[in-house]
Structure 1
Amino acid sequence: MQLAVIVLFFVFILIAVRRIGSFRLPIWGIMTAGAVAVLLLGQISIPDAFSAIQWETILFLFGMFVVGAAIDLSGLLRSYADSLFAGIRSQKKMLFWFIFAAGFFSAILMNDTVAIIGTPFALWCAKKYNVPAKTMLFALAAAVTTGSTASPIGNPQNLLIASSGLHEPFLLFLYYLFIPTVIGLLMVYFLLAWSLKFNKTVCENPILDETGAVVGCEIPEEPKAAPGFLLLTKLSVVVVFVMIALLIMASVAGYEFSLLFIALFGALPLLIFSNRRVELLQKVDWTTLLFFVSMFILMKSVYDTGFFQNLLPAGFEASVPALYLISIVISQFISNVPYVTFVLPVLENAAAPVVSYMTLAAGSTLAGNLSVFGAASTIIIIQNAEKQKETLTFLDFLRFGIPLTIAQTVLFIGWLMLLS
């Protein structure tokens, strides 16, 4: 077996265990060590490693992380959430709105962005509504994964697929994947709402209803940001939405522009005019960007061995069930972004129909609901939760992820076969 594959195997094991003795290993550090290892072992040259990095994806993430950092620092999300959830006392009603809000925004702001800004909010909801933190963390992970399926900018792998030459990507994703995505989010809700009856927590400052039942917990208010910074943050969010609308209209008119413009134009007002730009740059999740850079390098070295390509059956790209199921399985071992970089050339060389690209997008994305290995957004959520002394273990995730993935697999394969 080639050395690059052996390195990947050890990376996989370490991410699952994440502990050597009493020392806890950061996930980004494990992936970075893997990239350094293949470079030192001569499995990939430095020029090839540099060219393997999907710089458009990295820059897109950077721009959205800046916007996400501003949303977090300004308290914009918390202020709107307080208004939205003001009249919600029920745990199940909160869970419903949380899942659909996270799913909607992940389709627009990219799932990794929502994973970053949504983790502290998910833990806030867990405390306020007396819901187990693990339940809210999985709700966030599954919602951003599922919701991101329906958009070409919902996640990095969809961005790669949309950038591979698809015409009118926004309309294609909407036509093929919007309806099953909404149903998929409902599946997330019903699974977690059902689980609430088996999970009870206790809060220090309970809120009681007129019958004396605990309906939530008192949470201290956070300091509000200066009006000027809050206004700039709102402007950046508006710019993101406007850029998305312009790109959709341009796509319909037959003009194609890089999706990178959405993130960069959204971040520009903050980076140019804000007096907190240094604080914003400090708050950008640089370790996640390093994780992606390292992952691209490691996976390119593995790709060059031909190991995983040899596991793919001949003609799998022409079958919706085969392509979808293979995407689910292999994404657990090499994550969905590098898997898509493996398969895209196969689809392009075979002149595969559009439904194959949509199947690749759905399967590789929803693989993230099976285990913590399936999506980088889940790793982001776990890393951010651990900063607040909470976590979601490999087995915790599987308990929710296995039934959800089975149900969503039946749904999406049936839907895509119907359209094909």
Structure 2
Amino acid sequence: MPDAAAGWLLPVVFVATYLAMAAGRVPRFRIDRTGMAFIGAVVLLACGAVTSRQAAGFIDLPTLVMLFGLMVLSTQFEIAGAYGWCAARIAGYRGSPLVLLALVVAVAGGLSAVVANDVVAFAMTPLLCAGLTARGLDPRPYLIALAGASNAGSAATIIGNPQNILIAQAGALDFWRFLLVCGPPALMGMACVFATVAFVWHGAFRRQAAATNSVADPPTVHPPAVDRPALAKALAATMLLVALFASPLPHEVAVAGVAALLFVSRRHETRSLMAGVDWSLIVLFASLFVVTGAMSASAYGAGAAAWIALGRVDLAALGPLAGFSLLASNTVGNVPAVMLLLSVWPAPGEAALQALAVLSTHAGNLLLIGSLANLIVSERARRSGVVLDFRTHARCGIPMALASLGASLAWFSLLGPLAWR
């Protein structure tokens, strides 16, 4: 393809791909974000704007290996019945609605810091819907708390969510230093989720408490059986992974090694672990790597990088970084937004990357489209007969996201690694 044609095709494909990320679908077609990103990458390859060798070079294989391995570990917990057991125990709790809400926030946030938050949201949503509906409770506030807490809690570690994995690989971030810096704002974000849902739904909780007290023998929610050997294996694998993170071994090699050990089993076939891998998310990452990589390697990307480097856009300051996170995460989504920013941001420091991880994650709670976890909870709830729509989520999402961002900004400014501009 002539260079002149490739020159105009690249920005067109790039803009079209990210518009599709923002819209979430193509009108009159059943094409989602992954499909559009893949089509964009294929168009660039087919038209010669990017060669196969260049495309392979743009794809960050260590990040994809990290994603794959962590999904395998999460699937091991799901096979063991850990997520179902937690969700059923929460739904069957007989105490006050506020204590039940606190349990949802604590369990979802805690699990999401260790395993991928999207898997936690996927596994717990239908069981919470079934258990709470059987008890005559409205599942919606607890589902909002599930999505919000899984996002907030995942900000604590480099393995909590896809964008953190991407950021950690880009900056070679240390697991323990990241936890030390980002753990406190993650806990503050979980507190904001609890406080916001408790305030917005206080009337409904009061009515639920009264209705529960008036029922002499409320229905029992039976937790599913737990496969104890499989759970022990999952816990051992997690402890091994955390120990390996303290070693000089590259993170992606540590995660891949743990996943390989999980495949060695006399009770569960490899395909059962592979079935839990979100291949759609991996294809989305690979496709966006190609599209954003091609753009960043072009004159357009070089110009954007130079603009940032000259200080025209001061992304090393908390204010602009928070503004970008809030706007981009709730248009194209926090994963594509982070990938786009990293492709043109020249040499961001460790402190800036830590702040980006927390701010982009908390910003994803603002609207239903802000994060994959939100969309997963909404879709899984719909299949269980519970409608969690855009407006219902926004009633809690907007204040919880703004409160979380405010608390995080205060935390980072107190630490002093970044300066207000």
Please give the alpha-carbon distance, in whole angstroms, between the structure 1 residues aligned to 2:355 and 2:114.
Answer: 20
CA separation of 1:41 and 1:396: change in aligned 2, threshold 3 A: farther
Closer, same or farther: CA 359–280 of 1 in aligned 2, 3 Å: closer
CA 1:122/1:401 → structure 2, altered by over 3 Å: closer, same or farther? Answer: same
Offset at residue 10 of structure 1 (A) = 4.1
Deviations 1:348-371 (A, max 9, x none): 536x4x332222222222221123
* Aligned pair partner of 1:314 in 306, 312, 325: 312
- Pick one of 251, 258, 262 that aligns with 1:269: 262
Query: Quick check: 1:299–1:338 contact (8 Å CA) kept in 2?
Result: no
**SS of 2:239's equivalent?**
helix
1:99 offset after TM fit, Å? 1.0
The one of 403, 409, 414 aligned to 1:413: 409
Contact 1:382 1:391 in 2 (8 A): yes
Query: RMSD between aligned alpha carbons?
Result: 3.7
| Pair 1:358 & 2:358 matched | no
Give me the whole-angstrom Cα distance separating, in 2, the residues matched to 1:7 and 1:132.
40
User: CA 1:29 to 1:418, structure 2 compared with 1: closer, same or farther past 3 Å?
Assistant: same
TM-score (norm: length of structure 1): 0.80
Q: Tell me the residue number matched to 1:258.
A: 251
Matches within 5 A, 1:188-227: 188-197=193-202, 209=212, 211-212=214-215, 218-219=220-221, 222=224, 224=225
The Cα of 1:51 is off from its aligned counterpart by 2.9
* Offset, 1:4: 1.9
Deviation at 1:72, TM superposition (A): 2.6
- The letter for the 1-side match of 2:215 is G
Taking the aligned partners of 1:209 and 1:390, their CA distance within structure 2 comes to: 20
For 1:316, give the aligned amino acid: D
Report the alpha carbon displacement of residue 152 of structure 1 after superposing the two structures with TM. Answer: 1.7
Deviations 1:33-75 (A, max 9, x none): 4444554455544333333333223222222323333333332
AA of the residue aligned to 1:238: A
**Paired amino acid for 1:269:** L
Native 8 Å contact 1:122 1:140 kept in 2: no
User: Who is 1:290 aligned against?
Assistant: 283
Q: Quick check: 1:119–1:385 contact (8 Å CA) kept in 2?
A: yes
Q: Trace 1:11-50 onto structure 2 (pairs within 5 A).
A: 11-12=20-21, 14-15=23-24, 18=25, 20=27, 26-40=32-46, 43-50=49-56
Distance 1:399 1:41 in 2: 45
Q: Is the 8 A contact 2:101 2:194 kept in 1?
A: yes
Alignment of 1:2-13 (within 5 A): 2-12=11-21
User: CA 1:32/1:362 → structure 2, altered by over 3 Å: closer, same or farther?
Assistant: same
Please give the alpha-carbon distance, in whole angstroms, between the structure 1 residues aligned to 2:389 and 2:305.
Answer: 30
Aligned-residue offset at 1:410: 1.4
Report the counterpart of residue 323 of structure 1 in structure 2.
Answer: 321
Q: Is the 8 A contact 1:71 1:117 kept in 2?
A: no
Query: Unpaired segments of 5 or more residues in structure 2?
Result: 1-7, 417-421
Aligned residue identity for 1:358: Q
Which of residues 134, 154, 157 in structure 2 aligns to 1:148?
A: 154
Structure-1 separation of matches of 2:370 and 2:404? 15
**Aligned 8 A contact 2:244 2:254 in 1:** no
Note closer, same or farther for the CA distance 1:5–1:84 as it changes in structure 2 (3 Å cut): closer
Q: Quick check: 1:347–1:357 contact (8 Å CA) kept in 2?
A: no
Provide the rounded CA distance (Å) in 1 between the counterparts of 2:57 and 2:387. Answer: 35
Supply the distance in 1 between the matched residues of 2:402 and 2:413 (Cα, whole angstroms).
17
Say whether the 8 Å CA contact 1:103–1:144 is kept in structure 2.
yes
Q: Which letter maps to 1:97?
A: L
Amino acid at match of 2:15: I
1:107 and 1:124 mapped to 2: Cα distance? Answer: 25
Q: How many angstroms does 1:381 deviate by?
A: 3.6
Gaps of 5+ in 1: none
Query: Is the alpha carbon distance of 1:124 and 1:91 closer, same or farther for their aligned partners in structure 2, counting shifts above 3 Å?
Result: farther
Work out whether residues 60 and 264 of structure 1, in 8 Å CA contact, stay in contact via their aligned partners in 2: no
Give the partner amino acid of 2:262.
P
Deviation, structure 1 residue 265:
0.6
Residue number in structure 1 paired with 2:3 = none
Q: Quick one: distance in 2 between partners of 1:11 and 1:56?
A: 26
1:349 aligns with 2:347: yes
Determine which of 109, 112, 120 is the counterpart of 1:103: 109
Matched with 1:114 is 120
Question: Is the contact between residue 332 and residue 374 of structure 1 (CA under 8 Å) also seen in structure 2?
Answer: yes
Count of aligned residue pairs for this structure pair: 402
**Contact residue 64 and residue 113 of structure 1 kept, 8 A:** no
Q: Tell me the alpha carbon deviations over residues 293-350 of structure 1, each in whole angstroms, 9 at most, x when there is no partner.
A: 3333343345454397688662513312222222222233443334334444666536
**Hey, what's the Cα distance between the residues in 2 that align with 1:48 and 1:158?**
25
Match of 1:178 in 2: 183
1:103-140 CA-to-partner distances (Å, cap 9, x unmatched) read: 11111112233233233344345425544444333222
Alignment of 1:90 onto 2:99: no
Relative to 1, partners in 2 of residues 1:332 and 1:216: Cα closer, same or farther, differing over 3 Å? farther
Whole-Å Cα distance in 1 between the matches of residues 18 and 26 of structure 2? 16
Q: For residues 263 and 78 of structure 1, do their structure 2 counterparts lie closer, same or farther at Cα, with a shift above 3 Å needed?
A: farther
Distance 1:115 1:86, change over 3 A: closer
Cα separation, 2, equivalents of 1:13 and 1:333 = 5
Which position in structure 1 is the counterpart of 2:419?
Answer: none
Would the alpha carbon gap of residues 333 and 83 (structure 1) be closer, same or farther in structure 2, given more than 3 Å must change?
Answer: closer
Say whether the 8 Å CA contact 1:69–1:117 is kept in structure 2.
no
Residue in structure 1 matched with residue 73 of structure 2 by the alignment: 67
Shift of 1:256: 5.1
Q: Partners of 1:341 and 1:92 in 2: how far apart?
A: 37
